[in-house]
Amino acid sequence: MNPHLGKHVSVIGVPMDLGADRRGVDMGPSAIRCAGLEQRLEHLGYTVRDEGDLIVRRAKSYGAAPESNLKYLYEIVRVNSELAEAVAGMVDQGRFPLVLGGDHSIAIGTLAGVLRRKPSVGVIWYDSHGDVNTADTSPSGNIHGMALAAAMGYGHPALVGIGGGCPSVQPEHVAIIGARSLDPGEQRFLKEKGMAVYTMHEVDKLGIVRVMELALERVTRGTSGVHVSVDLDGLDPADAPGVGTPVAAGISLRESLLAMEMLSDAGVVTSAEFVEVNPALDIRNRTALAAVELITSLFGEKIL
């Protein structure tokens, strides 16, 4: 067990697929549980409380907001608002929030809940995408590509307002790792905000160890903890085939396990989420099994 994380973990599933507008990822929480998550964490010495899943409604009437191109805006806001309340409650109880997705739009609610109790938090965004689009820059209107921007206070007021006006994530407290698919508007945003983005170029050139050292230095400077947001499409599709938006030439599972081990050793992680596992596109639950390996590495599992 990693003593830095505390010994009490609350797991909550968010079977959200509206942010991606593609079916299948709503089964992600169940797939991760079926891959043995609770048993593995208990074996490491943690007391795990499964809080179940939030309810996500799907109907045609929950489509795009009339004044924007954002798909399923109001249902995504409703679910994320519930998630923010749940996560804030876990923090109040001294429990580690471990959120299972679902698509990456749920990060807005997770971070809102964390920020209500920890106003200055660092963020490791482990993802092949930047997720800093807004309605003005998004080519699809899919909110899972806007989650980080919304958590930073940019985007539709309904998304930015999730959590009741909690503080926003600061650009200098974010490190994006593994990016290799960025829209033009995202490229401009990231440059304008001076954000730390460790693309696959940096991962290949510097190695994952140096990238993680630089990222940790960034996200721990002036913060009261670190939130880890892992999109399984950050991994190479050979290791994580069950994702909705795979991008070739990603970080290997081996490198990713080392990254999680380094985060564990740093003793700074206070919340986490693992998202975008899509069992409908997976092969023998390989991606959910990879997610469990990553989670247990983050929670201190060692080979010896």
- Separation between Cα atoms, residue 176 and residue 228, nearest integer Å: 10
In angstroms, how far apart are the furthest CA atoms of the chain? 56
- Separation between Cα atoms, residue 124 and residue 219, nearest integer Å: 7
Mark whether 233 is an active-site residue.
yes
Which listed residue (17, 26, 231, 255) is catalytic?
A: 231
Which listed residue (104, 156, 173, 227) is catalytic?
A: 104
Name every residue whose Cβ is closer than 8 Å to that of residue 92 and which is 6 or more positions away in sequence: 117
Which listed residue (276, 282, 293, 301) is catalytic?
A: 276
Q: Let me know: does 97 contact 10? Beta carbons within 8 Å.
A: yes
Q: Let me know: does 227 contact 122? Beta carbons within 8 Å.
A: yes
Rg (CA), the chain: 17
Q: Let me know: does 299 contact 96? Beta carbons within 8 Å.
A: no
Mark whether 276 is an active-site residue.
yes
Counts of helices then strands in the chain (DSSP H, E): 11, 8
Mark whether 103 is an active-site residue.
no
Which residue is it, tokens 């891959």?
35
Which listed residue (144, 156, 173, 227) is catalytic?
A: 144
Mark whether 156 is an active-site residue.
no
E-state strands within the chain:
8-14, 47-53, 96-101, 122-126, 174-179, 196-199, 226-231, 269-275
Mark whether 131 is an active-site residue.
yes
Which listed residue (53, 82, 131, 186) is catalytic?
A: 131
Q: Let me know: does 111 contact 123? Beta carbons within 8 Å.
A: yes
Crossing angle of helices 286-298 and 253-266, in 10° steps, is 20
- Separation between Cα atoms, residue 126 and residue 234, nearest integer Å: 6
Mark whether 43 is an active-site residue.
no
Mark whether 227 is an active-site residue.
no
> 200-215 burial string, b = 16+ CB within 10 Å, else e?
bebbeeeebeebbebb
Q: Let me know: does 29 contact 101? Beta carbons within 8 Å.
A: yes
Mark whether 50 is an active-site residue.
no
Which listed residue (127, 186, 202, 282) is catalytic?
A: 127
Name the DSSP letter for residue 278.
Answer: -
Catalytic site residues? 104, 127, 129, 131, 144, 231, 233, 276
